[in-house]
Amino acid sequence: MATLAARPRQNGATTTKAVLLVGGPSRGTRFRPLSLDKPKPLFEIAGHPIIEHCLRAISKVPEIKEVYVIGYYEEDIFRSFLQDCTKIFPSLTVKYLREYEALGTAGGLYHFRDAILKGSPGRLFVLNADVCCSFPLGQMLKLFEEKNAEAVLLGTRVPEDAATNFGCIVSDPNTKQVLHYVEKPESKISNLINCGVYLFDTECIFPAIGKAYKRRADRPRLLSYPSSENLETSYIADEEDSGTNQVIRLEQDILSDLADTRQFFVLETKDFWRQIKTAGSAVPANALYLTKAFQLQSPELSKASAVILPPVFIHPTAKVDPTAKLGPNVSIGPRAKIGPGVRIKESIVLEDTEIKHDACVLYSIIGWGSKVGAWARVEGTPTPLTSHSTSIIKNGIKVQSITILGKECGVGDEVKVQNCVCLPHKELKRDVTNEVIM
């Protein structure tokens, strides 16, 4: 059988690099209204930008020294964050590589292969940045070595009815080998799904992408079912100009092929995992990251007390009245002002917000600089712990479960806002329920 990586592989000391795929401004529309004012990768969850959580996991793998953030946001956007990274993660060099256009998750990798392959790293972690999980990269590495693998992906079990929204994996329960991979199938195939975290042998992944480009150029209409005649066994270095402007995605175009190599394994994590797609999904992600920090006894979190139900993150510059009751699963951003007798639960309160006395904020995100009046109630609906959806059915209508106020919104005294999404710079003076406020 002709496989991608039939060539002899070098064992022994190899270096490992990591790539963080962040997408671009035209992606992440589902993260509106929050992404209208902040690129999703920099949105702060549990007190830190989404990508910082990924980088922290990467920094725990001692052999990784170089990380590339790949996306098509403008360079400026990450400049100050990357400067901060040199302090937060002194062991890492983090560089931003900007795609001139959206090339797809695999296309971006391939486009920057010279930079990535500089110094001949043997292995490459690839992380989708819109994932909230414990990133058990060490375990993936261990499985990779044990199995002498060419690719390892992280998988998790989801409820049967949710599985078809994800990439589904059929694996050999004993060997952990991936036997079959299909992205968002129409029918139920497996409830083991792709977490969007990969470890590749560099000598496997780049040829596989190259081959996908060639296949695309040769047979543009036959994307999913390549025949054996265009399978190649070596680098396709001369493929550069054949259709590089086409989008090639790891999930749709590469993984099902890799399943045929028989050197593709899955590490099933029993730990938490969520996608951060919609803005509302930031609330469960916040809860998961805070819980993790609490379990690790992070000194960043507030100490439990009669008014702090852990886990709670309060930025050192925020002012919280001692009679306010916060938690569980609450993050309070820089310079936020939380008044007397305020209650906040399962929510993200972003920087420069003001929550006035006796207000109540539940299952919500309060956007930057927003003001919530006295005795106001801003409330979302909790979604079941096992749910991967952030909308619920209320009176037969699909509504946002999490209430979100965009940047610089105002909620009047005593006003109730329930299951609403409010775009930036709106003043809410009357009670609103189950609405999107433009």
Partner 1 sequence: MKALILVGGFGTRLRPLTLTLPKPLVEFGNKPMIEHQIAALAEAGVTDIVLAVNYRPEIMTKELEKFEEQFGVNIEFSLEPEPLGTAGPLKLAEKTLRKDNSPILVLNSDVICDYPFKKLIEFHKSHGGEGTIIVTKVEEPSKYGVVVHKAGHSSCIDRFVEKPVEFVGNRINAGIYILNPSVIDRIELRPTSIETEVFPAMCNDEQLHSFDLEGYWMDVGQPKDFLSGTCLYLQSLNKKNPKLLVPSTEPFVYGGNVMVHPTAKIGNNCRIGPNVTIGPNVVVGDGVRIQRSVVLKGSKIKDHAWVKSTIVGWNSTIGRWARLENVTVLGDDVTIRDEIYVNGGSILPHKEIKANIDSPSIIM
- Tell me the closest approach of the beta carbon of residue 391 to partner 1, in angstroms: 16
Stretch that binds partner 1, among 93-101, 155-163, 310-318, 342-350 (CB under 8 A): 342-350
Among residue numbers 354 through 393, which ones bind partner 1 (CB under 8 A)?
357-358, 360, 362, 374-375, 377, 379, 381
- Residue 44: Cβ-neighbour burial (10 angstroms; 0-12, 13-18, 19+): buried
- Tell me the closest approach of the beta carbon of residue 413 to partner 1, in angstroms: 9
- Tell me the closest approach of the beta carbon of residue 384 to partner 1, in angstroms: 14
Length of the chain: 438
What would the DSSP string read from start to end of 126-166? Answer: EEETTEEE---HHHHHHHHHHTT-SEEEEEEE--GGGGGGS
Residue 207 backbone dihedrals phi, psi, to 5 degrees? -60, -35
* Per-position x/- string for 300-339, each x denoting binding to partner 1 as judged by CB under 8 A, each - no binding: -----------------------x-x--------------
With CB under 8 A as the contact rule, the residue among 157, 249, 433, 437 that binds partner 1 is 433
Rg (CA), the chain: 23
Task: Name the residue nearer to partner 1 (CB basis): 386 or 395.
Answer: 395
Among residue numbers 243 through 302, which ones bind partner 1 (CB under 8 A)?
none
DSSP at 33: T
Element of type H or E holding 214: helix 202-218
Establish if 340 lies at the interface with partner 1 (CB under 8 A): yes
What would the DSSP string read from start to end of 305-332? Answer: -SSB-SSEEE-TT-EE-TT-EE-SSEEE
- Tell me the closest approach of the beta carbon of residue 354 to partner 1, in angstroms: 17
- Contact (Cβ atoms closer than 8 angstroms) between residue 423 and residue 33: yes
- Tell me the closest approach of the beta carbon of residue 190 to partner 1, in angstroms: 35
Q: Return the residue matching tokens 């009046």.
A: 373
Residue among 322, 320, 324, 345 at smallest CA distance from 334: 320
CB atoms near residue 222 (< 10 Å)? 12
- Tell me the closest approach of the beta carbon of residue 58 to partner 1, in angstroms: 39
Task: Count the site residues for partner 1 by CB under 8 A.
Answer: 22
248 alpha-carbon distance from chain centroid: 19
Task: Name the residue nearer to partner 1 (CB basis): 35 or 419.
Answer: 419
Establish if 343 lies at the interface with partner 1 (CB under 8 A): yes
Q: Return the residue matching tokens 């990535």.
A: 116
With CB under 8 A as the contact rule, the residue among 62, 229, 395, 438 that binds partner 1 is 395
* Per-position x/- string for 99-128, each x denoting binding to partner 1 as judged by CB under 8 A, each - no binding: ------------------------------
Task: Name the residue nearer to partner 1 (CB basis): 111 or 345.
Answer: 345
Establish if 394 lies at the interface with partner 1 (CB under 8 A): yes
Establish if 345 lies at the interface with partner 1 (CB under 8 A): yes
- Tell me the closest approach of the beta carbon of residue 432 to partner 1, in angstroms: 13
DSSP at 177: B
Residue among 29, 410, 6, 67 at smallest CA distance from 204: 6
- Tell me the closest approach of the beta carbon of residue 360 to partner 1, in angstroms: 4
Binding site for partner 1 (CB under 8 A): 323, 325, 340-343, 345, 357-358, 360, 362, 374-375, 377, 379, 381, 394-395, 414, 416, 418, 433
